[in-house]
Chains A and B, each alone.
Chain A
Amino acid sequence: MKTTLAITPGEGWPPLSEVLEILAFRGGFNTSLVVAGTTLLGLAAGLIGVFALLRKRSLMTDALAHATLPGIGLAFLAATSLGFEGRSLPVLLAGAATSGVLGVLAIQALLRYTRLREDAAIGIVLSVFFGAGVVVLSYVQNPANVRASPAGLNHFIYGQTAALQPYDVAIMGAITLGAILATSLFLKEFALVCFNDAFAKVDGWPVSMIDLLMMALVVVVTVAGLQAVGLILVVAMLIIPPVTARLWTDRLRTLLIIAAIVGAASGYFGSVVSALLPRKPAGSVIVLTSGAIFAVSLVVAPSRGVVAGVIKRARLGLRIAGDHLLEEAHERAASSLSADTVREIARLRGWSAPIARGVCFWLSRAGFARRDSNGGIEVTERGSARGARVSRNHALWEQYLISYADVAPSHVDWSVDQVEHVLSDELIDDLERALAKRGVILPPAGTPT
């Protein structure tokens, strides 16, 4: 790894061959180790994060991560004073897990015995534990207090991916395997408790035990991620992949698979990029990578994406505008609307010229009308039937508002304009029945007026 190279514009990007080498795990043993470790971590965190998200515990996870810091410092102190090597990873991680769990218990206790709401309880525990951790670390780092060198403890805050050892990667592999195993074994139980814990309890499931198992998985993944991405950012690996996956699917199994893939991909590409660009800490690059995947998904995802939403709304707008034109033609008893009439309607409805053209285009594409050469439209048989129906819906709803809701006839028009396009057949039946009771009967659509 070129560790001393300063990045300047123009020479910042390494040659393509090096990029490919690292992508293919051939960029040297250390680099490959880091890439493998973060990929595995991303996969496990993405998978387990799904349950944290569905159980609405995402923020709790952040508190858990921050609350690990005092445990790290105290574990170091305890081990050193007992004459062990204070920097041994299992010792530090055990300390981290213990104080993280204590933090979560503190939140639960605050919720149970005080009137604090969850957001406030999480805020208090997160900051107080983190503050305590900073104090403990500064005490440890004073040579007057502790003789053993505490070098490296700070890395748990921001993470130091480059320090990953083969042993660490093996542990991450085991954790990933465990996460996959637990998810496939207990998917049904986890889903039940996340969706409806009261029902699960009545149904006889040990809800607190299942909750505890989910929380334990979160703790394990969080603690495993401390070394790689640091306690400030590890929560991102648990939250962002599931949220991204949720944009793409409505199915739980697919959600788990996509979240795992997004997590693994963020870990993989993030660490590759940080290996290529020295001095860029891997943890932050990994989080930025998953953030980028999220941002792209937010825009392009089908049905839940921003673009899909815009298209859907535009389509509805065109349909409603087209309905207005057809309704107008029906009420004028005309089989065609001249260009001037279309322009007149557009002016009344506040459509710009391109929108009016778009509406006519949509009508012709949907087979409701044909466009003539001057910009007018000729309504087809299907189009006039639709115009008649919309017009009748309008009349039905108007009558209903006047006779049942006591709305003044002069005030009904706006809401009618919105409602006439969305009435279902069932609603229309109900309307007709209600109006018939008051003696109002409208002829069926298509009857000449």
Chain B
Amino acid sequence: MSARPTNPTNPTRASAPDATLRDAPPTSALAERPEHSPQSPLAIHAMTVAYDRKPVLWDVDYDAPPNRLIAIVGPNGAGKSTLIKACLGLVPRASGQVEFWGEPYRTARARIGYVPQRESVDWDFPVSALDVVCMGRYRKIGWCRPVSRAHKHVALDCLERVGIRDFAKRQISQLSGGQQQRVFLARALAQEADLYFMDEPFAGVDAATERAIVGVLRDLRDAGKSVIVVHHDLQTVPEYFDDVILLNMRVVASGPVAQVFTTDNLHKTYGGRLTLLSEAAEAIARAEAGGA
């Protein structure tokens, strides 16, 4: 336990993390943080996330501007998916808060849509593409009631918007990877949310699917929605997105692509200097394992 600064009033210990984590913002920056605006669809305050006590995200602070397409970019293991999952309450937060339009997740979730990673489900499940998209309507349908024709109609429209209405009756295992991804996107559209979280929607899809997804993203923005996308392809960031969050276990930089998506920032995100953070995380994990 002595390896960790547990007592912030002790000056020698409090200064320890700054000395170790050269890239972390100075502690005083937290106090100077601007007020989070209630217009912001997503405000993250000092959020730290750990798996099995091993931190994967350190002290994330972020305010999403409304009505933007926002990419989360960073190397493997940077915590991109974890950031989304922690915002949505799918993984527990070690500390910090998340607010949506100034409200907690519990009251705001009717306005939030989600596209999980395609690999996170078993595509051999005995349902059709239409059945999956209808799942996006379930919360509007409510407990114990069957899916009405009107809701099926909405679901079919959503399939149309992603360009695979003809495949509505297909069993989902008979769809290509790109088509499966579009089914997930259509299900999120069926949620009729104002803020969307999408986990790697472009991973491993064909060119037609990529075009379809980009088209849907732009339609969403034109309709006044916000979309936060975990993205892995640096080349397409300036073309597809308005804002970017550069992430490597902490927010390296965030803001409009034109200002933030610079070579310098990318070096900071992908370069070797930040390995100190992951080394510190390893050390904490080892200490926990040794102490247990």
* Chain A interfacial positions (CB closer than 8 Å to B): 54, 56, 185-186, 188-189, 191-192, 194-196, 198-199, 201-205, 246, 249-252, 255, 426, 430
Instruction: List 4 other contacts, CB 8 Å, given A188-B145, A199-B116, A204-B139.
Output: A188-B141, A188-B147, A198-B120, A204-B110
> Is there a chain A Cβ closer than 8 Å to B89's Cβ?
yes
Are the C-beta atoms of A196 and B120 separated by less than 8 Å? yes
Are the C-beta atoms of B146 and A203 separated by less than 8 Å? no
Residue of B nearest to A202 (CB): B114
CA distance A408 to B53 in the complex (A): 52
CA distance A51 to B122 in the complex (A): 14
Q: Mark B128-155, 1 if CB is under 8 A from A, else 0.
A: 1001100110110101111100000000
Are the C-beta atoms of A196 and B121 separated by less than 8 Å? yes
Are the C-beta atoms of A189 and B135 separated by less than 8 Å? no
* Chain B interfacial positions (CB closer than 8 Å to A): 85, 88-90, 109-110, 112, 114, 116, 120-122, 125-128, 131-132, 135-136, 138-139, 141, 143-147, 171, 173, 187, 191, 197, 207-208
A246 contacts which chain B residues (CB < 8 A)?
126
Which residue, B121, B127, B136, has most C-beta atoms of chain A within 10 A? Answer: B127
Whether A250 touches B90, Cβ cut-off 8 Å, given contacts A191-B127, A195-B127, A203-B114, is no
Quote the shortest CB–CB distance from B138 to chain A (angstroms): 6
CA distance A251 to B172 in the complex (A): 11
Are the C-beta atoms of A196 and B127 separated by less than 8 Å? no
Are the C-beta atoms of A204 and B131 separated by less than 8 Å? no
CA distance A168 to B191 in the complex (A): 46
Whether A202 touches B120, Cβ cut-off 8 Å, given contacts A192-B135, A195-B132, is no
Are the C-beta atoms of B139 and A194 separated by less than 8 Å? no
Are the C-beta atoms of B146 and A188 separated by less than 8 Å? yes
B120 contacts which chain A residues (CB < 8 A)?
196, 198
Quote the shortest CB–CB distance from A192 to chain B (angstroms): 5
Whether A198 touches B144, Cβ cut-off 8 Å, given contacts A192-B135, A203-B139, A204-B109, is no
Are the C-beta atoms of B125 and A54 separated by less than 8 Å? yes
CA distance A6 to B140 in the complex (A): 64
Question: Could you pull out 16 A-B pairs where Cβ atoms are within 8 angstroms?
Answer: A54-B126, A191-B131, A194-B125, A195-B122, A196-B116, A196-B121, A198-B90, A201-B88, A202-B197, A203-B135, A203-B136, A204-B109, A246-B126, A250-B126, A250-B171, A252-B127
A192 contacts which chain B residues (CB < 8 A)?
135, 138
Which residue, A186, A195, A198, A202, has most C-beta atoms of chain B within 10 A? Answer: A202
B147 contacts which chain A residues (CB < 8 A)?
188
A255 contacts which chain B residues (CB < 8 A)?
126
Are the C-beta atoms of A202 and B112 separated by less than 8 Å? yes
Are the C-beta atoms of A185 and B110 separated by less than 8 Å? no
B109 contacts which chain A residues (CB < 8 A)?
202-204
B173 contacts which chain A residues (CB < 8 A)?
250
Interface residue from A188, A198, A252 paired with B138 (Cβ < 8 Å): A188
Quote the shortest CB–CB distance from A419 to chain B (angstroms): 17
Are the C-beta atoms of B131 and A252 separated by less than 8 Å? yes
Quote the shortest CB–CB distance from B136 to chain A (angstroms): 8
CA distance A250 to B139 in the complex (A): 25
CA distance A246 to B125 in the complex (A): 10
Are the C-beta atoms of A186 and B144 separated by less than 8 Å? yes
Quote the shortest CB–CB distance from B223 to chain A (angstroms): 20
CA distance A188 to B112 in the complex (A): 21
Whether A252 touches B126, Cβ cut-off 8 Å, given contacts A198-B116, A199-B116, is yes
A199 contacts which chain B residues (CB < 8 A)?
114, 116, 135, 187
Quote the shortest CB–CB distance from A241 to chain B (angstroms): 14
CA distance A196 to B144 in the complex (A): 18
Are the C-beta atoms of B116 and A205 separated by less than 8 Å? no
Are the C-beta atoms of B139 and A205 separated by less than 8 Å? yes
A194 contacts which chain B residues (CB < 8 A)?
125
Whether A196 touches B135, Cβ cut-off 8 Å, given contacts A186-B144, A201-B90, A246-B126, is yes
B197 contacts which chain A residues (CB < 8 A)?
202
CA distance A405 to B268 in the complex (A): 34
Quote the shortest CB–CB distance from A55 to chain B (angstroms): 10
Quote the shortest CB–CB distance from A391 to chain B (angstroms): 26
Which residue, A189, A246, A250, has most C-beta atoms of chain B within 10 A? Answer: A250
CA distance A205 to B187 in the complex (A): 16
Interface residue from B110, B125, B143 paired with A195 (Cβ < 8 Å): B125
Residue of B nearest to A195 (CB): B125
Question: What are the 4 A-B residue pairs with the smallest beta carbon separation, nearest first?
Answer: A250-B171, A202-B114, A185-B144, A202-B88
B126 contacts which chain A residues (CB < 8 A)?
54, 246, 249-252, 255
Quote the shortest CB–CB distance from B286 to chain A (angstroms): 14
Which residue, A189, A191, A246, A430, has most C-beta atoms of chain B within 10 A? Answer: A191
Quote the shortest CB–CB distance from A111 to chain B (angstroms): 13
B114 contacts which chain A residues (CB < 8 A)?
198-199, 202-203
B136 contacts which chain A residues (CB < 8 A)?
203
CA distance A252 to B134 in the complex (A): 14
CA distance A246 to B126 in the complex (A): 8
Which residue, B109, B125, B173, has most C-beta atoms of chain A within 10 A? Answer: B125
CA distance A189 to B114 in the complex (A): 17
Whether A195 touches B90, Cβ cut-off 8 Å, given contacts A202-B109, A249-B126, A250-B126, is no
CA distance A246 to B127 in the complex (A): 12
Quote the shortest CB–CB distance from A77 to chain B (angstroms): 37
A191 contacts which chain B residues (CB < 8 A)?
127, 131, 135
Which residue, A54, A56, A198, A249, has most C-beta atoms of chain B within 10 A? Answer: A198
Residue of A nearest to B199 (CB): A198
CA distance A273 to B145 in the complex (A): 42
Whether A203 touches B144, Cβ cut-off 8 Å, given contacts A54-B125, A250-B126, A252-B127, is no
CA distance A220 to B127 in the complex (A): 27
Quote the shortest CB–CB distance from B221 to chain A (angstroms): 21
B144 contacts which chain A residues (CB < 8 A)?
185-186, 188-189
Quote the shortest CB–CB distance from A380 to chain B (angstroms): 32
Whether A203 touches B132, Cβ cut-off 8 Å, given contacts A195-B121, A198-B116, A252-B126, is no
CA distance A195 to B197 in the complex (A): 19
Are the C-beta atoms of B90 and A203 separated by less than 8 Å? no
Whether A195 touches B116, Cβ cut-off 8 Å, given contacts A186-B144, A250-B126, A252-B127, is no
B132 contacts which chain A residues (CB < 8 A)?
195
